[in-house]
């Protein structure tokens, strides 16, 4: 997904406020994005995250200045985490790695990222058909978001539970936000009052040379206007000096000089006051100048208080207060940690809040980003080396088992040859007379296999399908029992005891591979989504029949196969044709199974796969026939691999398998 697809269902509303409007949204704890022209500002719970320009074409970081006096649209997110996710997807993230859930579960990575104070997201979407799953991290704190089907949104525990039950490939992407602060909007200048204008509610005092009453009232009125704002050195002492010196400066003609007209009594030669307070006094405005509490709060926001003091929380004249700030941590767990109490402060005004965010972000910014990346890289390399060592141990054990298997087979062949020699010389009587002598087709046609577990409390095929059991655990608990329609006691097949014939037959070995190995081969290669219909059918196999027919209709036509795997209701799940000869399989051998399997699939929607098995190899024309059957439409968006699509709802996977050296290998699809 991208940022725009995440934002499809966000609720729009008009925005026409510039910086002041952004401050209002921050105060109300707005989560979403503000769009103005080609710039987007993303916020989470009132905190600005990132400014992005050219969101739909080539997203890149922008500047907050684009919102000065701007108007546009505010898009409100349904959940704060989706606002953070959209900002991260729009930004330039750094992919730190990709992992398969069966090898590295989400829970294991979650623990590492949480402890490391990670900022970024985890995306589980590759090879997942049900939807896209995200874990959004800010300073190690995680929020879970999922989009299912047609962007149906899940959050929090529900999204987390669904994500941990999925199997697929996920990416870990680190994101670093810019330092964004919303500037204080510039105040609109007040119009200059007329020199002789008089307000009934608040009269503007003048310096009247002919009246001493005005001299006495001017300092008092300025004191009432400014209150506690004026500092002692600039207010109390100059007022006293001013009132004493006014008679000396009074012009002889009694006129009111223009420079001395305003309520600025302390105009005698002294250090020149700051321009802004002087302009306010000339206007006679009693409100624009910040209060003493405002200035004190500003000092507290700019210069953090000592550890033994708590942050100020009183609101200022703009109504903004108690805004908690958050900072983006370093990716190094030892250097970033989580934001401590001294990093969270409340600011009494939007200007001070922006200054505080800037200072705290600078204080927490990684001192050496390259060192952080190198630390994480070394950690993953160490884990990779450990996994490689484990893989070498498993490979060595596998080679030992194969060697032991080959030795046992050689011993069996030696003993069988010895037995045959004894029989030929009459030293040992054949037990054919004690049981029935069968041909290979007769023996297989009268035999069925049943898949059973020793204990339902141990590993089952369902457990293996869900990823909670490995192959060794499954094989230890799984039993493949056989049932014959004839008395197999003492029975032989072409002179060989029935029991040994059955277990060495290609039909039996294929059924055993189908039940105990194919599921793990599909899952370990991350193809369970693309092979979903076959993958989901494997745990449902209840019995396997040889040389069986599948009826297309009751009392009607039927199709025969060498192997048919069925569920407990007798519905066909998988059909197979076997070629035990040493001759390569050609296109002429492939066409019948495709045609017969397609007929069965149209009559039995339960059919999940058709398999062609050869003891040799497949000729190129056989591969071409299979690819043509599974090609589908050129415009098809179907993600299923090697799939014969008969209609919108009907179809099956077509698989080609080579059986050599006692093992089976999927030739198509290539996992």
The Cα–Cα gap between 278 and 259 comes to 12
Answer positive or negative: Cα dihedral of 7, 13, 16, 21: negative
Look at residues 321, 243, 297, 238 and name the one whose alpha carbon lies nearest to residue 273: 238
Query: Among the residues of 425-505, which ranges form H helices?
Result: 440-445, 461-466, 471-477, 498-504
DSSP string, 511-560: HHHHHHTHHHHHHHTT-TTTTHHHHHHGGG--EEEEEEEEESSTTS-EEE
Q: Is the pLDDT of residue 598 over 60?
A: yes
Contact between residue 10 and residue 59 where contact means Cβ atoms under 8 Å apart: no
Most distant CA pair in the chain: distance in Å? 157
- Written as six digits, the tokens of 364 are 């927490």
The Cα–Cα gap between 32 and 14 comes to 13
**Residue range 183-202: mean pLDDT, rounded:** 59
Domain ranges of the chain: 3-174, 447-484+505-668
At 371, which helix (H) or strand (E)?
A: helix 369-424
Alpha carbon 293 to its chain centroid, in Å, reads 46
Q: Which pLDDT value is given to residue 207? A: 44
- At 595 the three-state DSSP class reads helix
The Cα–Cα gap between 44 and 31 comes to 4
β-pairing, 437-438 with 492-493? Answer: parallel
β-pairing, 651-660 with 609-614? Answer: parallel
Look at residues 546, 562, 424 and name the one whose alpha carbon lies nearest to residue 495: 424
**Segment of 145-149, 306-310, 362-366, 650-654 carrying the highest mean pLDDT:** 650-654
pLDDT in tens, 266-303: 444 444 544 444 433 333 343 344 444 444 443 443 34
Model confidence band, residue 539 (pLDDT cutoffs 50, 70, 90)? very high
Model confidence band, residue 489 (pLDDT cutoffs 50, 70, 90)? confident
Terminal CA-CA length for the chain: 26
b/e map of 211-233 (b: 16 or more CB within 10 Å)? eeebbebbbebbeebbeebbeee
Model confidence band, residue 338 (pLDDT cutoffs 50, 70, 90)? very low
The Cα–Cα gap between 208 and 261 comes to 9
Q: Which CATH class is domain 447-484+505-668?
A: alpha beta
Alpha carbon distances (Å) from 526 to 123, 530, 609: 16, 9, 18
* Neighbour count for residue 582 (Cβ, 10 Å): 9
Packed helices 156-164 and 106-115: angle between N→C axes, nearest 10 degrees: 130
pLDDT in tens, 117-129: 999 999 998 888 7
- pLDDT higher at 303 or 507: 507
Q: Is the pLDDT of residue 462 over 70?
A: yes
Any idea which residue has 């999925």 for tokens?
166
The Cα–Cα gap between 545 and 445 comes to 8
Answer positive or negative: Cα dihedral of 252, 257, 259, 260: positive
- Written as six digits, the tokens of 37 are 């022209």
The reply to whether omega before 669 is within 30° of 0 (cis) is yes
- Written as six digits, the tokens of 261 are 């007209």
Model confidence band, residue 250 (pLDDT cutoffs 50, 70, 90)? very low
pLDDT in tens, 221-237: 443 444 444 344 434 44
* Neighbour count for residue 481 (Cβ, 10 Å): 10
Contact between residue 558 and residue 550 where contact means Cβ atoms under 8 Å apart: yes
Partnered with residue 48 across adjacent β-strands are 43
DSSP conformation class of 65? G
Lowest mean pLDDT among 308-322, 400-414, 638-652: 308-322
- Give pTM, 2 decimals: 0.40
């Amino acid at each position: 997904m991208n940022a725009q697809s995440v934002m499809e269902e966000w609720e729009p509303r008009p925005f026409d406020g510039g910086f002041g409007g952004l401050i209002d949204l921050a105060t109300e704890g707005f989560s979403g994005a503000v769009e103005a022209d080609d710039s987007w500002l993303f916020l989470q719970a009132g905190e600005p995250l990132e400014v992005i320009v050219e969101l739909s074409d080539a997203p890149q970081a922008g500047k907050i200045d684009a919102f000065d006096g701007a108007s546009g649209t505010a898009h409100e997110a349904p959940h704060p985490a989706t606002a953070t996710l959209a900002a991260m997807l729009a930004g330039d993230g750094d992919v730190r790695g990709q992992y398969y859930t069966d090898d590295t579960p989400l829970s294991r990575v979650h623990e590492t990222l949480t402890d490391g104070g990670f900022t970024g997201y985890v995306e589980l979407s590759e090879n997942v058909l049900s939807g896209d799953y995200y874990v959004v991290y800010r300073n190690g704190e995680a929020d879970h978001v999922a989009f299912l089907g047609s962007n149906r949104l899940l959050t929090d525990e529900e999204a987390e539970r669904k994500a941990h039950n999925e199997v697929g490939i996920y990416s870990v992407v680190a994101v670093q936000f810019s330092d964004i602060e919303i500037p204080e909007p510039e105040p609109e200048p007040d119009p200059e009052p007329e020199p002789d204008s008089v307000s009934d509610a608040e009269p503007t005092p003048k310096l009247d040379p002919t009246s001493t009453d005005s001299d006495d009232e001017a300092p008092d009125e300025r004191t009432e206007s400014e209150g506690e704002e004026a500092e002692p050195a600039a207010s109390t002492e100059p007022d006293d000096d001013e009132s004493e010196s006014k008679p000396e400066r009074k012009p002889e003609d009694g006129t009111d000089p223009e420079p001395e007209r305003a309520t600025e009594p302390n105009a005698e030669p002294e250090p020149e006051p700051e321009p802004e307070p002087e302009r306010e006094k000339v206007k006679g405005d009693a409100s624009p100048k910040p209060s003493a509490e405002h200035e004190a709060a500003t000092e507290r926001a700019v210069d953090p208080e000592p550890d033994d003091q708590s942050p100020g929380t009183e609101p200022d004249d703009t109504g903004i207060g108690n805004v908690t700030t958050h900072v983006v941590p370093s990716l190094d767990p030892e250097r970033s940690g989580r934001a401590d109490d001294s990093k969270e402060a409340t600011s009494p005004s939007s200007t001070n809040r922006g200054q505080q965010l800037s200072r705290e972000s600078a204080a927490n910014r990684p001192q050496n980003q390259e060192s952080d990346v190198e630390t994480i890289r070394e950690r993953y390399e160490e884990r990779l080396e450990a996994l490689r060592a484990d893989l070498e141990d498993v490979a060595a054990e596998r080679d030992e088992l194969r060697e032991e298997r080959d030795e046992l087979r050689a011993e069996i062949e030696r003993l069988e040859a010895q037995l045959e020699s004894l029989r030929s010389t009459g030293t040992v009587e054949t037990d054919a007379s004690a049981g029935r002598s069968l041909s290979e087709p007769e023996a297989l046609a009268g035999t069925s296999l049943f898949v059973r577990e020793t204990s339902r409390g141990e590993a089952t095929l369902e457990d293996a399908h869900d990823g909670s059991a490995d192959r060794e655990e499954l094989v230890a608990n799984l039993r493949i029992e056989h049932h014959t329609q004839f008395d197999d006691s003492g029975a032989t097949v072409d002179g060989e005891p029935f029991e040994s014939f059955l277990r060495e037959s290609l039909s039996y070995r294929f059924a055993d591979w189908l039940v105990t190995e194919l599921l793990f081969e599909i899952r370990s290669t991350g193809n369970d989504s693309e092979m979903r219909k076959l993958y989901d059918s494997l745990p449902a196999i209840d019995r396997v029949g040889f040389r069986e027919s599948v009826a297309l209709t009751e009392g009607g036509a039927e199709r025969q196969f060498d192997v048919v795997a069925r569920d407990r209701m007798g519905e066909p799940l998988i059909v197979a044709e076997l070629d035990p000869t040493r001759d390569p399989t050609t296109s002429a051998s492939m066409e019948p199974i495709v045609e017969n399997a397609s007929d069965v699939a149209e009559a039995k929607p339960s059919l999940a796969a058709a398999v062609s098995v050869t003891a040799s190899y497949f000729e190129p024309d056989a591969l071409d026939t299979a690819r043509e059957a599974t090609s589908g439409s050129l415009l098809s968006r179907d993600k299923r691999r090697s799939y014969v699509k008969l209609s919108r709802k009907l179809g099956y996977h077509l698989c080609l398998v080579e059986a050599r050296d006692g093992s089976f290998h999927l030739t198509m699809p290539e996992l």
